Structure 1
Amino acid sequence: MLSLRQLLGLPSYLFGVGLMYWCFELATLCGFVRFWQLGPRRNDVSAAVRFLKWAFKFRVLRLGRNEVYRGRCMYLVNHRCWADFFIDMYVVGCRGVPLSRRAVGMAFPAFTSSLLSLRSILLFNRAKTQDKDKFNSWLDRELSKGPQNCLLVYPEGKRSQQNTSLPLKRGMLHYAYTRKLPVQAVVTSNKEEVLNESRMWAHFGRTLVTGSSEVLESSRFDDFESFMAAVQALWDAQWQAVHSAPQHGLPELPEPVTAGGEYSGNQLAAQSASLIFWMAVMVGLGRIVLRVLAALAAHSLVGRCVVAALVLHVVASLLAAALLPPPAKRSRRSSNGASVASGSAVGASSESEKEL
């Protein structure tokens, strides 16, 4: 059963999900996606991510002096919530191509259609990943076709809001080792305060902390086990440093520099078709909702009261999302009976290490 705080936050949560769902279409309407530009500097993914940062009004503070690596590499990022997609893409300057299960594409078809059109996401069928050599060859081919050749993966293997990191999975790290890819841990805290599907909330104006590790060259290791141990140690140190860092005194992360999309004519045509189709769907659904509300208000005094109550609920929810502090984290019982603070999504959503 929903608590009073969750009932209050439900409209703002749905609003936040809608922003993410229709991010390319809304970014186009707001002028972030400049669809009339056809040059190599156009980058629709960066535009959509910048729109979401503007819409959610979050700030990102930088811990340490390490910069996000700009060469071909694999970014290792922590998996907390749905907001990971646009926050992590913003932090790495939209240089990484995220891997995700096809189920995510089915759940968010509007923005994944644009990402697929621009070859800026890789969707895979988990049932077909048993043959590792075949899967890795598929990754090689797909990366060679897109504008970016870096991978963005979630090595913990599933979303988790625990106050400790999960052990890293081996699959994609083995790919990095066999392809001699450098790896870098890019960890960001408080992402779950922006959009949290497990607790059904969205907040605006939150402050996040991000930090990048040193770049680890996989080619320097003689065997995979020593490389895996080094990555785990690197990850643990970076995860702990970011999640324990006080925000006071940290500088704000400069606007990441993004490369041009270098989109082909076919990619731009597919992206235009996707934008037109999903914008028509968005407008059509909006008209249906408005007509239903208008009909309800015109039906009777009770209907007008219901519509007025819904409007007040939405306004109050958005104000609360912008002004109220996030609820205290829930506590869970450890094996010895002690109460341990953690997020509500402890071990939630067993998604693969290659998921959004």
Structure 2
Amino acid sequence: MYRTHPLTWRRLGRLSVALLLVSLGGCPSGDPGDKTRRLKMAHVYEFNAPTHSYGTAHFNERLQQAGSDLTVTVYPAAQLGSEQELLEQLVAGELDLAISGPSFLAMWHPPLGVLDAAYASRDLDHMLETARGDELAPHWDELRKRFDVRVLDTWAYGSRHITSNFPIRRPDDLSGFRLRMPAAQVWQASGAALGASPMPISFAEVYLALQQGIADGQENPVPVIKAKGFHEVQKCLNLTGHIQSSVQILMNERAWQRLDARQRAALQKVVRDLGEEVYRGVVEDEQKLIAEWRENGTMQVVDDVDVDAFQKRAKKHFSSGYPFSELYNQITSQHVRVDGQGDAAQ
């Protein structure tokens, strides 16, 4: 049964004193005569990952161009801790900004896991439309009300595809297939929804697990597959497009309230603009790599995947029994086009 992670509540409970102190005292922005408002941001994504290279690396440049007196010091690559630890620092007010994915946020508010459920979104555009639309708005608002965490925007992380040593075209091909997926409950549920036997293996250990045959395959956006070298130990790239992966740009609500109207407008615009840059970079990188791999034979690109069969299996799996099932059914009902035909895979 999908349920809120108990460790999260205990850790948040231990932060109550810190929350009270921060809410009473606030955080100074610098010297009394310095009008610059300095913000502190951290995330776990590497320097060469699209989230940073197309996005957070350019915060100050864009803020300066906007004529804002804000500056953002960014700590990428888990320099300040794991994703869970960064969320705790954000709630405590030790960080002003952080980035997390839906599966981690679902530990606080379970319906948000819908964005990481297999085939909830038909493509990245649909995922972004959903995340920024009316369906998710009340759920983002719950984070603000309950945890003082404001969602500034959702950025694309990429379309996730399965790699393997033989072609995967239908759910039956995944029978008994040991598919490495992140350990969060919604990810493991998505692996089962596809027909696989999901395995929670640490991301740092995936390469070795594939090389030694501990896992039969893994799934990630194509640029991540390239960056982590998974193409070196897997033969096939199966274009399942089963999850349209996202990350959320989060801000401590008390830090947001300390900004004036012009600062808020500038920060919100820069976050949204950088999100568009990340989206274009993710899509272009995927297209470029797939074309290269087709041409040079780095991997067999399997594009005749029966996505409809995978979608039907996932929809049946998630239609009931999960805290986001009603939301999942609502979102996936949009998968049918006006002409009545299902949408193609990514």
Q: What TM-score does the superposition give when structure 1 sets the normalisation length?
A: 0.30
Structure with a larger share of its residues in strand: 2
Q: Which structure's relative contact order is higher, taking Cα pairs within 8 Å and 6+ residues apart?
A: 1
